[in-house]
Structure 1
Amino acid sequence: MAATVSLSFSLDPQHHYLSHNAHFKPHQTFPLTTSFPIPPKHPFLLPHRYNRYASKSSSSSSHSTPSTDTSLSYSEDPFRTGRFLSNEELEKLKLLENFRYGQELESGSLSVRVMRAEEMDDIVALLADSFAESMCWPSGYLSLLRFLVKQYLIERRALIPHTATLIGFYREKKENGALEEEEEEEEDEEQLAGTVEVCFDIRGANASPPTPTAPKNSPYISNMTVKNSLRRRGIGWHLLRASEELSSQMSSSREVYLHCRMIDVAPFNMYTKAGYNIVKTDSILILLMLQRRKHLMFKKLPARRIPSDISDSDEE
């Protein structure tokens, strides 16, 4: 039987609501909860080599580019799962491969896409360091924590396309008088900004879900993390929006869920502003298990627009 360790992440990139925890340095994260199991050995294949931070994204408002081409050759698939996929899964895998979300921010631009295999170690470090700092774990436990997080991500990756880990890249704006040479170096200045995980259906649901338990057939958002140096730039907000947009494409369910700890007021306000409402709250008895009480929050996603609806944009 697989051993599990329950992990909770809590911080918010847009607010200084943890002033009493000023020792948080490397990263900051949102209060979305999960469990990191140690799974049995299973096949996992890495893709071919490529630039780990290569991402093509628009710097305009949010958008995505789904594809209906299901002729995926194994050598061209950057999201190899190590198992055979049905035609429907291949279509969704291609959609994940082509998904892009882009947004212009006041200080720069953000692009979001699905994590690739070679970027896993960076995400492991981001999640493990964030959790260790937020929970004041001794540095001696960091290597163990990274091992658990990596095993968890490997297990989750094997469930693609029923779940996906999104990563955001931030590029700071150049001054108007920047030289052309500086513009040529712009690609090198793109940096990993944050990550978030989304599961889309029951096959991608976590084996050890946090309480209160969300419906397994609906999309569920968890493990949102933003670098501490990039706080208060709207990155967390747009990681949430990107998760919702991808969920609306990958799932027929219009309901999306997430958890928020009761003590995390600022994130709760952000989720409320984004349209989330409390469904259920942990019993006080959860404190006996040395866990923080959490809200299960829910949002009804709007129906996807079809081309015939675009003519109604005058009302908007």
Structure 2
Amino acid sequence: MAATASLSFSLDPHRHLFSNPHFTPSTSLPIPKHPLRFFHNSNRYTLKSSSSSSTSTTPTSSFLEAPLRTGRFLSNEDLDKLKTLENFSYYQELESGSMWVRVMRSEELDITVGLLAESFAESMLLPSAYVALLGFLVKQYLMERRELMPHTATLIGFYRKHRDEGKDESFEGKGESFEGKGESFEEKDGGFGGEDEDGILAGTVEVCFDKKGANASTPTPTPPKNSPYISNMAVKKSLRRRGIGWHLLKASEELISQMSSSREAYLHCRMIDAAPFNMYTKAGYNVVKTDSILILLTLQRRKHLMYKRLPVLTSFSVSETLCSEDDENHY
């Protein structure tokens, strides 16, 4: 099974970031002797509400920080969309646990970089020494993409396993919101900041909503720049086959429905990645176009461009079914 459902990075020596479908290893690229640590080792993140510290920034300022740093003018529509990104959450019960998806915040950049760099290196069969270098490049990419909000967003998913088989204490079952408790999850037994395996970063995916958020170097086959585009999906290796990739995809579609007037969603899938292709097909995506065999001359893998017309959703964060951990088509 491939490490990622869809990775849309390639090394651009002129901009020092990833923007194309796949990174092609080069013999001229040095393997670092003593790789620097560009991201945290930990794959955990302790979720704290804004009221837990008098010096912490509010979620609104966190989402405004990157766009305003560029000096970009934000219209009222942009501000409304940033508020939508700030409030977006997707919750799902799985057979072995539960997961929660929301938009990545600035303080979660490093753990997201770590997951993407490791998954990308695994997908491309690169030596582990490359991971630190990839981490540096991925970080530059994510920082630049973050400045384009609300036209694009990076989603992250956290996974919490059930404490007892067949018994789980659901977040929603308590009748209270995540943000409204005025206390950190670290202080709650079994929260995402717990000392056991609960609450680890499980996956990430990037969503582009319109032309303003489109990548400068578009992967081939080229999707319409003004249509929503899903890319860079990665699932932590130890948590695959739990339906996490499936629900990252569903969360992306739900966010597109809230952020874009277009119902046409596109994504790429490499021809060699059978599991992601089966997952996308099951989710309703169809192949629009496939790379010519000549793309192999550029040392890239052939890819499918896939398309789905999203239904109009009247309610959000409501899942139809539980995902089976034994389903090979799910990540």
CA gap of 1:149–1:177, structure 2 versus 1, over 3 A, is closer
Deviations 1:87-125 (CA, angstroms, capped at 9, x unpaired): 110000000000000000000001000000011010111
Query: Which residue, 256, 260, 269 being the options, matches 1:247?
Result: 256
CA gap of 1:177–1:253, structure 2 versus 1, over 3 A, is closer
Deviations 1:52-104 (CA, angstroms, capped at 9, x unpaired): 54279xxxxxxxxxxxxxxxx98842222223411110000000000000000
Q: Which amino acid aligns with 1:160?
A: M
- 1:30 matched to 2:5? The reply is yes
CA gap of 1:55–1:259, structure 2 versus 1, over 3 A, is farther
- 1:273 matched to 2:292? The reply is no
- 1:262 matched to 2:266? The reply is no
CA gap of 1:112–1:74, structure 2 versus 1, over 3 A, is closer
Match of 2:218 in 1: 209
CA gap of 1:253–1:291, structure 2 versus 1, over 3 A, is same
Query: Residues of 1 paired with 2:302 and 2:128: CA distance?
Result: 26
Match of 1:125 in 2: 114
Match of 1:166 in 2: 155
CA gap of 1:54–1:284, structure 2 versus 1, over 3 A, is same
What TM-score does the superposition give when structure 1 sets the normalisation length?
A: 0.74
- 1:197 matched to 2:234? The reply is no
- Deviation of residue 145 (structure 1)? 1.1
Match of 2:61 in 1: 77
Query: Residues of 1 paired with 2:287 and 2:59: CA distance?
Result: 44
Query: Which residue, 189, 192, 198 being the options, matches 1:185?
Result: 189
Query: Residues of 2 paired with 1:177 and 1:137: CA distance?
Result: 39
- Deviation of residue 34 (structure 1)? 3.3
Deviations 1:281-302 (CA, angstroms, capped at 9, x unpaired): 0011100000010000000001
RMSD: 2.6
Q: Which amino acid aligns with 1:126?
A: L
Q: Which amino acid aligns with 2:111?
A: D
CA gap of 1:35–1:207, structure 2 versus 1, over 3 A, is farther
The size of the alignment, in residue pairs, is 253
Name the stretch that deviates more: 29-38 or 262-271.
Answer: 29-38
Query: Residues of 1 paired with 2:145 and 2:130: CA distance?
Result: 23
SS of 1:139's equivalent in the other structure is coil
Name the stretch that deviates more: 165-174 or 128-137.
Answer: 128-137
- Deviation of residue 251 (structure 1)? 0.6
- Percent identity, aligned pairs only, is 67
Query: Residues of 1 paired with 2:296 and 2:279: CA distance?
Result: 25
Query: Which residue, 140, 150, 162 being the options, matches 1:151?
Result: 140
Match of 1:54 in 2: 47
Query: Residues of 2 paired with 1:274 and 1:292: CA distance?
Result: 23
Match of 2:229 in 1: 220
CA gap of 1:52–1:78, structure 2 versus 1, over 3 A, is farther
Match of 1:109 in 2: 98
Query: Residues of 2 paired with 1:77 and 1:241: CA distance?
Result: 27
- Deviation of residue 274 (structure 1)? 0.3
1:292-307 map, 5 Å: 292-305=301-314
- 1:235 matched to 2:244? The reply is yes
Q: Which amino acid aligns with 1:217?
A: N
- Deviation of residue 134 (structure 1)? 2.3
CA gap of 1:102–1:39, structure 2 versus 1, over 3 A, is same
Query: Residues of 1 paired with 2:103 and 2:109: CA distance?
Result: 11
CA gap of 1:36–1:55, structure 2 versus 1, over 3 A, is farther
Q: Which amino acid aligns with 1:300?
A: R
Provide structure 1 residue ranges, at least 5 long, that are not aligned to the other structure.
Answer: 1-9, 12-27, 42-50, 57-72, 307-316
Provide structure 2 residue ranges, at least 5 long, that are not aligned to the other structure.
Answer: 18-43, 50-56, 170-186, 316-331
- Deviation of residue 176 (structure 1)? 7.1
Query: Residues of 2 paired with 1:228 and 1:150: CA distance?
Result: 20
